[in-house]
Amino acid sequence: MRLDAASCHSSRRALFCLLLIAASLGKGAHAQSIRIKVVNGRNGRPMAGTHVNVWVGKERKWAMVIPTDKDGVASLVLTDKEGEVNVPRVDGDGSHVVVNPVVKYDDDLGINAPYVLCQPGTPYSWLAIRHISTKQVVGQGIVTPNACGKATVSQTPGEIVVFVRPLSWREKFAFELR
């Protein structure tokens, strides 16, 4: 079998592509960034300067309180490597505010925000916890339905977009009476 310059170049390119794919798969298996974007469903603007509560795994009793940035995004990293985790497991003394947490990977991700979800057909949903598959977030992304307005966004792998609305003054008042 005789190799000419073109087939040799093609073989090198294929080997290079295979190495790139293998490297990216190896890296993705150890750490995965997740972005949780909180969007006002009425006007499409990001809910900056607030927070989301996040539970990774079902055994975690207390939420991580992750602040949103100017774009309404709260970020975290999931890892398989115990040595990379920077958030201690806390069971007894409540939620903790954490910025850019790195936590142990689990396929169950629970989130809520201090707003009403804009999902159609759901009962009153202020502070409702939404359970999401991490695999689905990583593979294709998730965008919750928006029954509060016309704002839309596209799904992006690694990102959860949650459409919400602020509580009305009546809802705030009713909550204060509880």
* 82-119 tens-digit pLDDT: 889 888 665 555 667 888 899 999 999 999 888 888 88
**Cβ atoms 31, 77 nearer than 8 A:** yes
Question: Span 9-28, mean pLDDT?
Answer: 45
**3-state secondary structure (DSSP) of residue 98:** coil
- Where does residue 167 rank: exposed (0-12), middle (13-18), buried (19+ CB within 10 A)? middle
What the chain holds in terms of domains, given with CATH numbers, is 30-177 (2.60.40)
Model confidence, pTM: 0.76
Percent of the chain clearing pLDDT 90 (strictly above): 46
Give the containing element (helix H, strand E) for 18. helix 5-30
Question: Span 152-164, mean pLDDT?
Answer: 95
Query: Which pLDDT band holds residue 77 (cuts at 50, 70, 90)?
Result: very high
State how far the Cα of 75 lies from the Cα of 98, in Å rounded to an integer: 10
Asked if residue 13 has pLDDT above 80, the reply is: no
